[in-house]
Amino acid sequence: MTHQKDTLFEIGDRIVYISLPERVQKSDSVAYPVLMALHGSGRNALNYLPGQEESVSFYVHQRNLALKNGYLFVVLSNGNDTWGTDLGLKNLLKVYEYIRSNYKVKEKWVLWGTSAGGVQMFRMIRNHPEKIERIIGTFPVYDLEEAYSRRKSANFIWQSREEFKSINPATFPEKLINIPMLIFHGRKDQAVPYEKHSLRLKKEVNALGGSVKLRTVSGGHSTSNWKVYKNHQINKFLSK
């Protein structure tokens, strides 16, 4: 089976972007690792595709690191459902099944959640830990209640606390203890304060026996904060 290096297609009405490392193109005899990116609020799969009008270098960098380490890279345009909705989770599972059916890949994947995508990432771990090997987070949302309390738009996906009460990652740290995590977060983040999200995640999950490595850096919640990318640490984490 031969595949193009970069592929765009739709599952339902959602755009999916897949990129293959060079060695995937040369051999179909080995099952390759997969890294699935979970974008933040207001972002989409095209932000990760280089050389396009919607390309965002901050997100393209995640794609490049995945390819460099021999991973098949995939990202779904999940819209506001990246905030952890049932539909968002179903969309991710559709992509998972599509990749498993059409490419020779490993069963357990690496997830890379950014900002709001962290909610969907943690929910994926709780609901389908058998599909997840490890995760990387860049200023990921952990406490959905805290994020809800500082929402600035009437169009925020969650309109009441009751809607997300059962899926708030901060309410199930015990479900996250078996997945190694490497988290990067800016200490001046005003949108997703690191003390209330990543630091809390580390304390609560590790206290239960988990494995969360948190790397705090200067700067805030921005695609211009390249300090959240410690490439040597990410490469080492992906090579395990």
Give per-residue pLDDT as tens, 123-181. 999 999 999 999 999 999 999 999 998 876 666 898 888 999 999 999 999 999 999 99
- What's the CA gap between 141 and 51, in Å, rounded? 29
Whether 1 shows a pLDDT value over 50: the answer reads no
Q: Compute CA distances 61 → 66, 134, 162, whole Å.
A: 9, 19, 37
Greater confidence (229 vs 4) lies with 229
CA-based angle 151:220:74, to the nearest 5?
A: 80
